[in-house]
Structure 1
Amino acid sequence: MSVGALKCPLDTRGRGVVVGKEVTDAAAWQQAVTRALAQRWLVQEPCPAPRITLNPGTPSLRHDLALGATDGHLAGVFSRLGTEERLNVARSGQLHAVYL
């Protein structure tokens, strides 16, 4: 079983995401991969977000930076900070400004 993630195109709020390490049944993972291939989903290699500690004695937070490109040119940027491994704003992630 893979530890990658499958992401449905044009999905929002993480509803169409299947994270391999969260799938405990090999048959269910294979079914998800088959569906993703047929529907041309994004396949993402796992890349854990780095942890940062803002204040000593408080839980560490995860932080990421996402870049979007259109036709080879930077089209958008955002950053998230959260307590969960999955930095999804619909869950516990919080958006932060990025200055270019």
Structure 2
Amino acid sequence: MNVKVISIKPTNESNKFLLEIHIGRNWHQFLMTAVTDTIAGEKIQVIKGDKSFCQTFRFNQELAVKLYKMVSEFNRGWLVKLPVEIGDFSEDEIERVSFLTKA
């Protein structure tokens, strides 16, 4: 099933974003958070997904990384062209995700 990013929107809370995507014909919305840490004197930005995001992309880290990068670019003020197709879920991945969300 095709995964298409529809929008990334800031929320009323600082450093939080709503990520809207389609997986096949199903619409999903996830809350993403940008956190800045300092490691060895250098500031780094880390993007975290909510529990639903982590469960949905648990078996497809490649797509999760693409989504984290897009949210990071958006947070930095870079141009992110949307909507955009970023890849596919296999049937096995869909069954695993369906199993997780029903549990």
- Do the two structures share a fold, i.e. TM-score over 0.5? no
Q: Which one scores higher on RCO, CA 8 angstroms, separation ≥ 6?
A: 2
Bigger-Rg structure (1/2)? 1
The structure richer in helix per residue is 2
TM-score by length of 2: 0.28
